[in-house]
């Protein structure tokens, strides 16, 4: 009975096809959380697939309705636990079984969002990268250690949500109401991409996100552009100029209230060697885009960004010769720790008013705001995770102070008060949220091996680290 044997066993689990077979069953479930048509599949994903697996591993499981939804089928939660000894270290881990909409007709010929198609190292299918593939890796690693030892040597609590792609509605409320049930010593989970496909990565939090709308309504209806052009203000034109006052043509944010207070030297040091945009399938980075004077890694992991996600004036699908009377723009700001997120919208309102756009309405969108978080990189849990991954992979993992994207990590770090460590199993060009989403088989194999090693080591060193903190 050894660590290396456990890693060999999980490698055989992968090579035998058993791992991809399990994942294929999960991908086949249309668990779209952004549309009511997907709601019936959310509980089905938990009941038909996750609970039986956890039962076989000796977990007790319970499914809960979402505390803020009036639809009993929308965004349920699952809490499972395996308590071997109250004196052991307790791990809380997490996954989300929901996915974004399939966009079935937009996938490349020969691909389907609801079936895994393997082409070389590419495993195509909705959720392969986000997040079904990632939590499947962690469950398989836990099961491997359990099968090898007959026990884990630590306690595990698992939280599954089924609304992450809808903005994690109700997650904060659920965690607040179940703090005792979800209490633990450490949080480890997997979501988001590695810094690069071949580079194991650890991140300690995430940028926050706030979605908002700019709306301008000048009049009812649209008016003929020949009869009224030059006489009536164009809502689309004014809204574009309003937006241009917030951010320049090279992506630099022009509103001081939307920027972080600083870029800490510790963050600069942490990301100075992190590769960004150098993978084989990564898009080519735009030259001189974003905050001047920052490296690409500093812009993604240490600074704030402001983006248009959608904009509409008139009828884009069938343009008419008419001046639009109203225009709408949906935008998002991603922000790091040290930003005045509570006053973002007010800062935008004041700025627009000062620049002559007081008629533009600024309001938060229906997507829940996610807070920015970072765990101290010097926390002993971080050093242990980095060392364990290095032992397995013979690579020094990239350590990010926070993910460039946003996750509901504030629920675990702030509400539950846990040290949070994320070990992602995807990569930047996985095409999550769009057509042709995929997981790399090579990354899945390495992730299975390093998570098996990590869970093996937790039983050995967890109590010592718990006492150090």
Residues 257-267 pLDDT 10s: 999 999 999 89
Distance CA 431, CA 381 (A): 31
Distance CA 171, CA 161 (A): 8
Residue 60: enclosing H or E segment and its boundaries? strand 60-64
Cβ distance 402 to 304 under 8 Å? no
Distance of CA 281 to the CA centre of its chain: 20
| Residues in CB range of 164: below 8 A, 6 or more apart | 33, 96, 98, 131, 171, 408
Band (pLDDT 50/70/90 cuts) for residue 28 is: very high
Distance CA 171, CA 440 (A): 29
Q: Quick one: pLDDT at residue 199?
A: 95
Token readout for 395 is 């690579």
Q: pLDDT, tens digit, for every residue of 368-388?
A: 788 999 998 889 999 999 999
Token readout for 466 is 């718990």
Token readout for 231 is 């006489």
Residue ranges and CATH numbers for the domains of the chain are 3-206+372-468 (3.40.630.10), 209-260+304-364 (3.30.70.360)
Instruction: Of 109-118, 119-128, 275-284, give the lowest mean pLDDT range.
Output: 275-284
Distances from the Cα of 144 to the Cα of 54, 160, 183, 449, angstroms: 13, 20, 25, 10
Cβ distance 236 to 435 under 8 Å? no
> Looking at residues 140-161, what average pLDDT do you find?
97
First-to-last C-alpha distance (Å) of the chain? 30
Q: What is the pTM of this model?
A: 0.87
Q: pLDDT, tens digit, for every residue of 182-198?
A: 999 999 999 999 999 99
């Amino acid at each position: 009975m050894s660590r290396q044997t456990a890693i060999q066993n999980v490698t055989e689990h992968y090579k035998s096809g058993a791992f991809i077979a399990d994942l294929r069953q999960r991908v086949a479930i249309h668990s779209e959380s952004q549309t009511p048509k997907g709601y019936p599949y959310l509980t089905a994903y938990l009941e038909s697939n996750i609970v039986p697996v956890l039962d076989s591993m000796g977990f007790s499981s319970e499914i809960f309705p979402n505390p803020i939804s009036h639809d009993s089928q929308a965004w349920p939660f699952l809490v499972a636990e395996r308590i071997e000894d109250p004196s052991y270290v307790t791990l809380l881990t997490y996954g989300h079984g929901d996915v974004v909409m399939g966009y079935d007709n937009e996938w490349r010929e020969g691909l389907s969002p609801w079936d895994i198609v393997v082409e070389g190292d590419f495993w195509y299918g909705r959720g392969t990268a986000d997040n079904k593939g990632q939590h499947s890796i962690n469950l398989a690693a836990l099961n491997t250690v359990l099968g090898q030892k007959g026990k884990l040597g630590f306690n595990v609590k698992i939280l599954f949500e089924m609304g992450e792609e809808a903005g994690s509605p109700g997650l904060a409320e659920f965690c607040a109401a179940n703090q005792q049930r979800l209490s633990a010593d450490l949080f480890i989970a997997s979501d988001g991409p590695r810094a690069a496909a071949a580079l194991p990565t650890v991140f300690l939090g995430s940028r926050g996100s706030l979605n908002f709308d700019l709306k301008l309504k000048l009049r009812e209806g649209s008016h003929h552009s020949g009869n009224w052009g030059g006489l009536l203000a164009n809502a689309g034109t004014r809204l574009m100029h309003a937006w241009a006052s917030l951010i320049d043509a090279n992506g630099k944010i022009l509103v001081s209230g939307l920027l972080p207070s600083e870029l800490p030297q510790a963050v600069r040091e942490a990301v100075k060697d992190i590769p960004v945009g150098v993978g084989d399938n990564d898009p080519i980075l735009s030259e001189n885009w974003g905050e001047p004077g920052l490296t690409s890694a500093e812009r993604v992991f240490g600074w704030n960004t402001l983006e248009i996600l959608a904009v509409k004036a008139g009828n884009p699908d069938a343009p008419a010769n008419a001046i639009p009377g109203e225009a709408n723009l949906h935008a998002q700001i991603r922000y790091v720790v040290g930003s005045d997120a509570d006053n973002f919208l007010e800062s935008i309102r004041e700025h627009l008013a000062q620049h002559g756009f007081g008629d533009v309405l600024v309001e938060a969108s229906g997507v829940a705001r996610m807070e920015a978080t970072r765990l101290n990189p010097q926390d002993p849990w971080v050093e242990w995770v980095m060392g364990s991954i290095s032992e397995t992979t013979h690579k020094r993992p990239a350590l990010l102070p926070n993910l460039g994207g946003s996750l509901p990590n504030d629920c675990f770090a702030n509400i539950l008060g846990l040290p949070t460590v994320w070990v992602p199993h995807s990569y930047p060009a996985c095409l999550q949220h769009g057509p042709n989403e995929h997981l790399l088989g090579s990354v899945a194999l390495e992730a299975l091996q390093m998570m098996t090693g990590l869970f093996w080591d937790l039983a050995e060193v967890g109590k010592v680290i718990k006492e150090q903190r």
